[in-house]
Amino acid sequence: MAGGVRFAVAALALLVVLPSAVVADEFKVLPSLALSEGYNDNILYSTSDTISSWVTTISPGLALTNRTEKTDLMLSALVDVLRYHGESNYNSENQYYKGRLGYTFSPRGSVQAEGGWSRDYQPDRDIYRTGIALTNTQRDRTYAGLTGNYVLTERLSAGASYFFEKDNYDAPDVSDLTGNQFSAGLSYNLGLATKGRWNAGYASYRFTSQDTNSVWSTVGIEHRYHELWSVIVDVGGRFARTKYTVRELQFVPPFFPVPVTVEKTSEVWSGLVKASLNYTGEKATGSLSAVYDLAPASGLNGAAQRTSFVLDVRYRLTYEFSTALSTGYFLNYAAAGDYGTGSVDEAMIFVIPSVRYEFNKDIYLEALYNYSCLLYTSPSPRDS
């Protein structure tokens, strides 16, 4: 078991300059600066010999947006400069660059392209999205995606998307990852603020010593109640085939054992569930999501079945003052032989209460307490 407690105080200042006076062509340059100071009692999420430190983070950023009647352009750059007091070996500069371009062909059709590149080092860089804590190894991530939507009739609409992601780790014991995902779907308006949904897709996750390919399909429903509540539920199944190599001893006549490389294939059928409940009120907003699906376990050298429950709630006490709670549970599981030679069985829970005071729409001060705990049934990769 590895646990972590973190307390942080952050301030964000955002300055908007160069706004266009033409409504049909809005151009903005948005520089930003965030400063946070926090204490982390287990910066490496280790089960033994834990290291604690005060951490100072300075985050300068710059974003450019340009919107017209047909186009929506966004470019941004952000750098997180982290300084660990008394543990300078873990100092790092994380870099994030991304862009998005959307184009509306007509009232019926639109397309959007996105892409980005990042270099990061923090062990908790993915933990609140995947439940996986990594080492402080450098990772370079490249991603790109394309999405299109088209309204076929007054009730029926269609969409399709493609997403590419590549993770390169600067460590020989951590597998790189190349992922490709394609999906297409239909949405039909059933009336009474209810839509029926059908989606299907293909995914490929390629690691150093194994390759998982899968196809999936879901049916679902989307319903909005009283303009405050909305619910989306999709259920279905997935079929995955994984090819991987193992080293085995084979006997050569008359009796000599010889190590050889053998290629094996595994096939797994699994369920697929995605559900979300959302609330948007005058003072309160909240969302609850639940997911059970196959996912690439980047940093753990293979794919895994991921179960997650995440709750986010924010309540505005006054115009300036608000409080929030984020909490969740993740389980990444794969038996040996399901998606390669290795097995994965890691669970994670986190609880993050916070309070925020907004001086204006561009500047706020926030304090938060972060408790997270990881449970391993096998030796932790953070201790290797």
For the cut 50, the answer to whether the pLDDT of residue 275 exceeds it is yes
Q: Tell me the percentage of the chain whose pLDDT exceeds 90.
A: 75
**Of 18-22, 38-42, 155-159, 305-309, the least confident:** 18-22
Q: Residue 257's CB: how many other CB atoms inside 10 A?
A: 10
Task: Identify the CA nearest to 242 among candidates 263, 204, 211.
Answer: 211
* CA–CA dist 81, 37 (Å, integer): 12
Q: Supply 291's token pair.
A: 């997911």
Q: Is residue 70 very low, low, confident or very high in pLDDT (cuts 50, 70, 90)? A: very high
The H or E element spanning position 127 is helix 127-130
Distances (CA, A) of 281 to 231, 314, 360: 15, 10, 21
Q: Is residue 15 very low, low, confident or very high in pLDDT (cuts 50, 70, 90)? A: very low
- Going by the DSSP 8-state scheme, the letter that residue 90 receives in this structure is G
**Of 7-21, 272-286, 306-320, the least confident:** 7-21
Q: Is 150 in a helix, a strand, or coil?
A: strand
Task: Identify the CA nearest to 63 among candidates 40, 51, 79.
Answer: 79
Q: Is residue 223 very low, low, confident or very high in pLDDT (cuts 50, 70, 90)? A: very high
What is the predicted pLDDT for the residue at 250?
75
| pTM for the whole structure | 0.89
Mean pLDDT for the stretch of residues 49-54: 90
What is the predicted pLDDT for the residue at 20?
41
Mark residue 90 as left, alpha or beta (left: phi above 0; alpha: psi -120 to 50; beta: remaining).
Answer: alpha
Identify which has the larger pLDDT, 31 or 301: 31
What is the predicted pLDDT for the residue at 10?
64
For the cut 90, the answer to whether the pLDDT of residue 52 exceeds it is yes
What is the predicted pLDDT for the residue at 8?
65
Q: Supply 375's token pair.
A: 């449970």
Predicted confidence (pLDDT) per residue in 136-170, tens digit: 999 999 999 999 999 999 999 999 999 999 999 99
Q: Is 16 in a helix, a strand, or coil?
A: coil
Architecture of domain 90-383: Beta Barrel (2.40)
Q: How much is the mean pLDDT over the chain?
A: 90
Predicted confidence (pLDDT) per residue in 344-367, tens digit: 899 999 999 999 999 988 899 999
For the cut 90, the answer to whether the pLDDT of residue 241 exceeds it is yes
* Domain spans in the chain, listed from the N-terminal domain onward: 90-383
What is the predicted pLDDT for the residue at 253?
73
What is the predicted pLDDT for the residue at 209?
82
What is the predicted pLDDT for the residue at 22?
43
What is the predicted pLDDT for the residue at 47?
81
Predicted confidence (pLDDT) per residue in 326-342, tens digit: 999 999 999 988 998 78
Q: Are 355 and 346 in contact (CB under 8 A)?
A: no
